[in-house]
C-alpha cells in the first residue's frame, strides 16, 4: 500500500557565528506545528507548516559531564528522542523486510550530520540504529531459534561533483568516478561498488568511520569541515529462516542513510573558484532532487502525465527507489533558528513540505 514519506524538522542551538551577530530566533514549534517569522516583517503572520515530527533542539538542555546534551525540561528533544521516533521505526521496518531510506536535508551547518551520525557521545541515528540492530541480532541468536541466520553488509558512497566514489574501496576511490548503471528491474546501481560483511556494532562502526575519513571535505564560510558532497551509507540486512513446513525463507532489507550536501545557494557561502564550481554541481544535483520531489508530489496529488526526472543527476538516480519506489522513507530537515538564515530556512521548510506529499509503495522483500 502506498504510504506518505514521513517528514521531521529539527532546530539546533545558535552557533558561534549567530551568537556573535546577536541573532534572534525566528522559529517556533508547538506540537506538530512549526512557524517561521520573516525578520524583515516581524509583525506579519508567521508562516505555518505541519510535519510528522517537529524537534526542538535549540534550548532547554543540560550538558552532562561526558558532553551529552540532555533535556533540562520538557521542551528539548535530544538524540535519544529522535532515534526513538525515527530510527526505531526504520529498524522495525527492516526486520519486517522492507527497504528503508532516511535522509537529511538542510543548509550547511544546520545539523544534518548531527542528526544522522552525531558527534562524540551525542550519537546520531546511524550509530544508534546499528547498535540496536546488532543488539536485536544477538538476542535472536541467544534465544537459539534453530535455522535462523542473520547477515549484515555495508557499503558507503559519496557523490561529489556528479562523480560517485566508493568510500570503502581505496583502489577505485583513487581512480575517481564509478559508473552508474541501470538494472532492468531493480533500477540504478553503482558498478563495482564494494560490500563489506560486518558482524558486530564495533565492526560496522569502524567501517563507517573509515569511510567518513575518506570523504572529500573542504571549508567554506559556513562550516569549517562541511562536506560538499552527498554521503550514502547502505546497510543490507538479510534474515534466513525456515517456516513451519520446513521451507527456507529469506527476508532482505536495504537501509539507505543519506546525509545530503548543504542546500544553500553558492552565493551565501562566499565561495569562489573551485569551491564555486563544487557549489554549482551540488546545486545541480539538489535542484534535480527538488524537481523529482515536486513531480512526485504532483503525481501523489493526482496530476497525470508527469515525468519524474530521476535521470537528471547521479543523486536522483540512486535515490529513485527511496523516493518513488519500493521503500519506506523518512526525511529529516535540519533548521537554523536564526534570523540571518531566514531565506535558507524558509526554503528548507518548503522543500520538506513538498516531500510530505510523496507516496512510496514498499513491499516486503521475501522469497
Residues making up the annotated binding site are 106-113
Of residues 55, 76, 114, 160, which has the active-site annotation? 114
Task: Work out how close the CB of 231 gets to Mg ion at its nearest, in angstroms, rounded to a whole number.
Answer: 8
Task: Work out how close the CB of 157 gets to ligand ADP at its nearest, in angstroms, rounded to a whole number.
Answer: 17
294 counts as binding ligand ADP under rule CB under 6 A: no
Does residue 89 have an active-site annotation?
no
Determine phi and psi for 218, rounding to 5 degrees: -145, 160
Question: From CA 105, how far away is CA 135, in angstroms rounded?
Answer: 29
236 counts as binding Mg ion under rule CB under 5 A: no
Residue 2 CA, distance from chain mean position: 21
Binding to ligand ADP, residues 321-340 (CB under 6 A): 334
Task: Work out how close the CB of 11 gets to ligand ADP at its nearest, in angstroms, rounded to a whole number.
Answer: 8
Given the complex with ligand ADP, which of 71 and 187 has the nearer CB atom? Answer: 71
Q: Provide CB contacts within 8 A for 167, sequence distance 6+.
A: 156, 157, 158, 173, 210, 211, 212, 214, 215, 231
Does residue 262 have an active-site annotation?
yes
Of residues 87, 97, 111, 118, which has the active-site annotation? 111
Binds ligand ADP by CB under 6 A, chosen from 42, 119, 145, 175: 119
**Beta strands, E only, the chain:** 3-4, 6-11, 27-30, 33-36, 47-50, 53-56, 61-63, 69-71, 100-105, 118-119, 122-123, 149-160, 163-166, 180-183, 187-190, 196-198, 230-242, 248-259, 328-335, 359-360
220 counts as binding Mg ion under rule CB under 5 A: no
Does residue 113 have an active-site annotation?
yes
Of residues 101, 113, 263, 288, which has the active-site annotation? 113
3-class SS at 14? coil
3-class SS at 115? helix
Q: Which residue is nearest to ligand ADP (CB)?
A: 111
Does residue 302 have an active-site annotation?
no
The label of the residue with cell 546501481 reads: 189
Task: Work out how close the CB of 84 gets to ligand ADP at its nearest, in angstroms, rounded to a whole number.
Answer: 15
Given the complex with Mg ion, which of 295 and 315 has the nearer CB atom? Answer: 315
- Numbered residues of the known binding site for ATP: 106-113
268 counts as binding ligand ADP under rule CB under 6 A: no
236 counts as binding ligand ADP under rule CB under 6 A: no
113 counts as binding ligand ADP under rule CB under 6 A: yes
Note whether 91 and 244 are within 8 A (CB).
no
Question: From CA 257, how far away is CA 260, in angstroms rounded?
Answer: 10
Does residue 114 have an active-site annotation?
yes
113 counts as binding Mg ion under rule CB under 5 A: yes
106 counts as binding ligand ADP under rule CB under 6 A: yes
Given the complex with ligand ADP, which of 33 and 219 has the nearer CB atom? Answer: 219
Q: Provide CB contacts within 8 A for 298, sequence distance 6+.
A: 306
Note whether 114 and 124 are within 8 A (CB).
yes
Q: Which stretch binds ligand ADP (CB under 6 A): 9-17, 22-30, 147-155, 323-331?
A: 9-17
Beta bridge partners of 255: 100, 235
DSSP label at residue 264? S
Given the complex with Mg ion, which of 112 and 207 has the nearer CB atom? Answer: 112
Q: Which stretch binds ligand ADP (CB under 6 A): 107-115, 179-187, 281-289, 304-312?
A: 107-115
Note whether 257 and 202 are within 8 A (CB).
no
Q: Provide CB contacts within 8 A for 337, sequence distance 6+.
A: 11, 12, 13, 14, 18, 23, 25, 26, 27, 58
Q: Which stretch binds ligand ADP (CB under 6 A): 35-43, 113-121, 138-146, 182-190?
A: 113-121
Q: Which stretch binds Mg ion (CB under 5 A): 105-113, 133-141, 145-153, 243-251?
A: 105-113
111 counts as binding ligand ADP under rule CB under 6 A: yes
The catalytic residue positions are 109, 111-114, 259, 262
Q: Point out which residues bind ligand ADP (CB under 6 A).
A: 10, 12-13, 15, 57, 69, 106, 108-114, 119, 223, 226, 262, 334
Contacts with Mg ion by CB under 5 A lie at 112-113
Amino acid at each position: 500500500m502506498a504510504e506518505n514519506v514521513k517528514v521531521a524538522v529539527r532546530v539546533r542551538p545558535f552557533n558561534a557565528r549567530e551568537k556573535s551577530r546577536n541573532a534572534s530566533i525566528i522559529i517556533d514549534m508547538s506540537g506538530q506545528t512549526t512557524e517561521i517569522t520573516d525578520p524583515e516583517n516581524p509583525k506579519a503572520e508567521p508562516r505555518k507548516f505541519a510535519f510528522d515530527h517537529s524537534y526542538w533542539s535549540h534550548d532547554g538542555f543540560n550538558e552532562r559531564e561526558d558532553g551529552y546534551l540532555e533535556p533540562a525540561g520538557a521542551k528539548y528533544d535530544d538524540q535519544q528522542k529522535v532515534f526513538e521516533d525515527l530510527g526505531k521505526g526504520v529498524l522495525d521496518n527492516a526486520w519486517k523486510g522492507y527497504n528503508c531510506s532516511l535522509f537529511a536535508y538542510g543548509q550547511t551547518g544546520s545539523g544534518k550530520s548531527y542528526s544522522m551520525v552525531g558527534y562524540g557521545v551525542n550519537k546520531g541515528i546511524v550509530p544508534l540504529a546499528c547498535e540496536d540492530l546488532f543488539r536485536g541480532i544477538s538476542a535472536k541468536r541467544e534465544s537459539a531459534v534453530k535455522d535462523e541466520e542473520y547477515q549484515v553488509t555495508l557499503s558507503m558512497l559519496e557523490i561529489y561533483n556528479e562523480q560517485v566514489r566508493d568510500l570503502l574501496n581505496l583502489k577505485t576511490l583513487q581512480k575517481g568516478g564509478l559508473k552508474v548503471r541501470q538494472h532492468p528491474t531493480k533500477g540504478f546501481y553503482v558498478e563495482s561498488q564494494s560490500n563489506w560483511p560486518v558482524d558486530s556494532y564495533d565492526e560496522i562502526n569502524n567501517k563507517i568511520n573509515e569511510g567518513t575519513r575518506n570523504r572529500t571535505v573542504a571549508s567554506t564560510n559556513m562550516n569549517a569541515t562541511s562536506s560538499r558532497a552527498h554521503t550514502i551509507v547502505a546497510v543490507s540486512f538479510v534474515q534466513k529462516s525456515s517456516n513451519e513446513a520446513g521451507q527456507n525463507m529469506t527476508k532482505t532489507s536495504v537501509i539507505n542513510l543519506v546525509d545530503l550536501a548543504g542546500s544553500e545557494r553558492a552565493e551565501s557561502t562566499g565561495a569562489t573558484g573551485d569551491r564555486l564550481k563544487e557549489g554549482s554541481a551540488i546545486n545541480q544535483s539538489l535542484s534535480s532532487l527538488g524537481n523529482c520531489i515536486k513531480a512526485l508530489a504532483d503525481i501523489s496529488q493526482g496530476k497525470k502525465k508527469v515525468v519524474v526526472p530521476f535521470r537528471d543527476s547521479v543523486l536522483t538516480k540512486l535515490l529513485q527507489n527511496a523516493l518513488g519506489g519500493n521503500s519506506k522513507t523518512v526525511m529529516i530537515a535540519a533548521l537554523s533558528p536564526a534570523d540571518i538564515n531566514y531565506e535558507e530556512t524558509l526554503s528548507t521548510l518548503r522543500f520538506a513540505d513538498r516531500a510530505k506529499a510523496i507516496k512510496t509503495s514498499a513491499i516486503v522483500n521475501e522469497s
